[in-house]
Amino acid sequence: MLKTLKKIVLGPPLSTAEFIHQRLNKKIALAVFSSDNLSSVAYATEEILLVLVTAGAAAISFSLPIAIAISALIFILIISYSETIHAYPSGGGAYIVAKENLGTLSGLTAAAALLIDYVLTVSVSIAAGVAALTSAFPASYEHRVGISLILILLITLANLRGVKESGKFFAVPTYLFIFSFLILIGVGFFKYFSGEIPVSSLPEAFPEALHPITYFLILKAFSSGCAAVTGIEAISNGVSAFKQPESKNATITLIWMGFLLFAFFMGITELARFYHILPTAHETVVSQLARAIFPGGYFYYVIQVATAMILILAANTSYADFPRLSSFLARDSYLPRQLSSMGDRLAFSNGIILLGIASGFLIILFNASTHSLIPLYAIGVFLSFTLSQAGMVRHWFKEKTGWWVHRALINGVGALTTAIATVVIAATKFSHGAWIVIIIIPIFVAIFLAIYAHYHDIVRQLHPETPDFISPNNHHVLIPVSALHKGTAKALAYAKLISPDVEAIYISLDQERTKKMKDIWKGWNIDTPLTILESPYRSIIQPLLKYVDELQSKRHDQLITIVLPEFVPSKWWQQMLHNQTALLIRTALLFKKGVVVTSVRHFLKH
């Protein structure tokens, strides 16, 4: 039944040979890898204005130079990451680049920063998408956490179906957003410059200044607006997901994404200034802008739905990159090996599920509040930008082929600008929660190193040069029995096949039943000795564990095998009607040295 349900929800399994056919063309890849980046225009301008508005009307004019500075940063990163794509066509992004050129700690730091950012991307995107919905439908505001969790579940299930299939599904909303925002910006500029919306009719209700205009305020607004830059690295991390030629297709897609990001971000920022739009508690800047440009028209709702959809689907970029990065780390023994395995649909299913759980936890923790999550958002990605670009500079100095000086200069400018941005973001957002990320990144690195040490220790201890093939001098078999039935008889027969030293164990909970068991054992002339273990506190597990300890204390060189007789009902639901004693015994003995636990099953008929 579970297998059938899985097939219905996720689709039939895909063979390994089909992996090459699951790669993405440029149009689908733009939807998969750019949704996070493009969706940021829905809240990046708002985050700038939220800071500037505290200094009154005069400070709003700084939104344009701040947007220009961020756009210049976008331009630098697009050029820099195009170099990374051609130098590392196998993908891996900042982790691989930093690890190979700057050392293991730098690579792990970049990986930790990106993993944290990917989780935050899902949480912020979902929260922002739900905020867009609640702006259009205020009655749903109280249910934003529940709506967010449902959306995370749906996106997780969609990604478990495979990258290509989820990409096709998410392409339509992405392109709806692109075309609707092109119309919004185009019509907005046309109406403003044509005088169709008189300046005198625009709102002038600027709040009273709470803070003076200072350099720190400007830098804080800049750092908040840098949310627009997040997601640029996604394509370089997933180059291997593109159809051949991978590097060329990835670079073209990156340029498309950069052009759209620049046009949307600058357009929304300027229109917000032209139309005197300010952020409010219950309506986003984009919602107010669409309402001003299309008053009372159905296209307002098209904009809101498209914005909500792209914000929600922006999480899909993380679902494409988080599992892939986790698989690289798992392959190098810095994360559990399970994360390196592909599921039935040729997707890294364990990484997808882990991302869904982590982002859902953040949604609950921060009450689906975009403004609470964004201060945690940009530090990790800008730190990874810096390490990646610095690693590329080192890469060109090692290679020294072709136009390596020019390429090193390009990546050097990228490293310098992102390093400055990282410091600014850390300083301006530190008291607003950024300190959490600054602390968590070293903790993640420590966890990576601990996992690596564990795997390295296992390899050392299991190395075949020093095999431990010494057989135990004594092999003692214990069979816990609760009654004499066909399952018990099979277990006794099996036990005698593996050792001549077999002992049955009965846990005495009731004297009358114990006496009856002795009589049955004696009446059937069973040649296996039956040992009665008293249990005054009615525990099944503790007397058995105590007896095993006693046996091991007498002889340290013996092997003890616990043979568990079990019967298996014909229907899955019937299993719930029986005690799970065998499962409890296996769990209790899981880490017991010198003890082997095996089950002998008797399958019941219909």
Spell out the domains of the chain, with CATH numbers in brackets: 24-455 (1.20.1740.10), 474-603 (3.40.50.620)
Q: What is the pLDDT of residue 465?
A: 59
Inform me whether the pLDDT recorded for 56 exceeds 80.
no
Q: Strand, coil or helix: what is 502?
A: strand
**What is the mean pLDDT of the segment spanning 29-38?**
83
CB atoms closer than 10 angstroms to residue 327:
20
Query: Is the model's pLDDT at 498 over the cut of 60?
Result: yes
Residue 200: predicted pLDDT: 44
159 within 8 A of 348, measured Cβ to Cβ: no
Confidence of residue 291 (pLDDT cuts 50, 70, 90): confident
Q: What is the mean pLDDT of residues 455-483?
A: 75
pLDDT at position 7 is 65
Q: CA end-to-end span of the chain, whole Å?
A: 17
Q: How large is the average pLDDT for residues 401-412? A: 82
CA-CA distance, 313 to 309, in Å (whole number)? 6
Instruction: Give the DSSP H/E element, type plus range, for residue 478.
Output: strand 474-480
Model confidence band, residue 31 (pLDDT cutoffs 50, 70, 90): confident
HSE of 196, CA atoms in CB hemisphere, 13 A:
11
- Among the listed residues 355, 155, 189, the one whose alpha carbon sits nearest the alpha carbon of residue 272: 189
DSSP string covering 5-42, please? HHHHHH-S---GGGGGGG-B-HHHHHHHHHHHHHHGGG
Residue 255 has a pLDDT of: 92
The predicted-structure confidence for 339-357, as pLDDT tens digits, reads as follows 888 776 667 889 999 999 9
Range in 138-152, 302-316, 592-606 with the lowest mean pLDDT = 302-316
**pLDDT value of residue 129:** 77
E strand or H helix that includes residue 601: strand 595-603
pLDDT in tens, 120-166: 888 887 887 787 778 777 888 888 889 889 989 988 888 887 766 66
Residue 531 scores a pLDDT above 90: yes
Average pLDDT over residues 393-399: 86
CB-CB neighbours of 12 under 10 Å: 9
- Residues 430-445 have pLDDT tens digits of 777 778 888 899 999 9
Confidence of residue 42 (pLDDT cuts 50, 70, 90): confident
Three-state secondary structure call for residue 499: coil
Give pLDDT, residue 202.
Answer: 47
Query: pLDDT band at 575, cuts 50/70/90?
Result: confident
Can you name the residues that pair with 242 across neighbouring β-strands? 24
Closest to 227 (Cα-Cα) out of 124, 133, 372:
124
Rg of the chain over Cα atoms, rounded to whole angstroms, equals 31
Q: Mean pLDDT throughout 435-460?
A: 89
What average pLDDT does the segment 69-86 reach?
A: 86
Which residues make Cβ contacts (< 8 Å) with residue 468, sequence separation at least 6?
A: none
Pairwise CA distance, residues 345 & 16, whole Å? 9
**Per-residue pLDDT for 18 more than 70?**
no
Residue among 423, 332, 89 nearest 97 (CA): 89
Q: Residue 51's pLDDT band (boundaries 50, 70, 90)? A: confident
CB of 55 closer than 8 Å to CB of 210? yes
Which residue type is seen at 234? A
Q: Which two three-digit tokens encode residue 341?
A: 């395995």
Task: Return d(Cα 74, Cα 81) in angstroms, integer.
Answer: 10
Residues 172-227 pLDDT 10s: 888 999 999 999 999 999 988 887 765 544 455 555 656 677 888 888 888 878 87
Range with lowest mean pLDDT among 1-5, 187-191, 323-327: 1-5
Residue 470 has pLDDT above 70, yes or no: no
| Predicted TM-score of the model (pTM) | 0.72
| Residue 451 in this model has a pLDDT that exceeds 90 | yes
User: How confident is the model over 507-524, as a mean pLDDT?
Assistant: 89
Contacts 24+ apart (CB under 8 A), 398-401: 398/101
Amino acid, single-letter form, for residue 144: R
Which tens digits make up the pLDDT trace of 227-267? 788 778 888 877 877 888 888 899 999 999 999 999 999 99
Segment among 265-279, 308-322, 584-598 with least mean pLDDT: 308-322
Residue 351's closest CA among 114, 174, 40, 26?
114
Mean pLDDT, all residues of the chain = 83
Tell me if 564 sits within 8 A of 600, measured CB to CB. Answer: yes
CA pair distance 456, 454, nearest whole angstrom: 5
